[in-house]
Amino acid sequence: MKKRIVWKIYLIFIIIIIFLSYIEIFRSSPNFFNYLDVPMSLVSLFGLYLYSFLKEGKYYKFWRFWFVFYITWDLIYNIFLDGVLSAPNLAPAIFSFILSFILFIPEYIALYLLSKKKI
């Protein structure tokens, strides 16, 4: 039970982080990929919610697909589409990418674990 409290705290933390980052993105000039990233993040947050509250996944095959798809999307989006390679200064962009990747590792773990038949 206490292990799930940590997941719930992380869920709230990551919701706040994502919400604040989208506010910042949409205050500037968002592009098509920024809009496309919103539903991707929402589906992944839903998966994190399911795992945090121990909801058995009848759709574990979907979450197995989503786990691979979402990590691939995150890497492509954060490196090529709206991230490291499009930044004017490479060093701060790389640092930001590494920091955000580390912050999202628990979400990736939750999506991976949700893709198993039994949680």
Condensed to tens digits (0 to 9), the pLDDT of residues 23-70 reads 988 888 888 888 888 899 999 999 999 998 877 667 888 999 999 999
**Residue 18 falls inside a structural domain:** yes
pLDDT band, very low/low/confident/very high, at 111 (cuts 50, 70, 90): very high
Query: Which structural domain range is residue 34 located in?
Result: 2-114
**Residue 119 falls inside a structural domain:** no
Contact 46, 23 (CB under 8 A): no
Q: Is 89 exposed, middle or buried (0-12, 13-18, 19+ CB in 10 A)?
A: exposed
Q: Rounded CA gap, 20 and 36, in Å?
A: 17
For the entire predicted model, the pTM comes to 0.84
Cα 62 to Cα 23, 42, 65, distances in angstroms: 29, 15, 5
**Residue 29 falls inside a structural domain:** yes
Question: Tokens representing 72?
Answer: 């691939």
**Residue 92 falls inside a structural domain:** yes
Asked if residue 90 has pLDDT above 90, the reply is no
Could you give the number of structural domains in the chain? 1
Dihedral angle sign, alpha carbons of residues 33, 102, 96, 52: positive
**Residue 32 falls inside a structural domain:** yes
**Residue 24 falls inside a structural domain:** yes
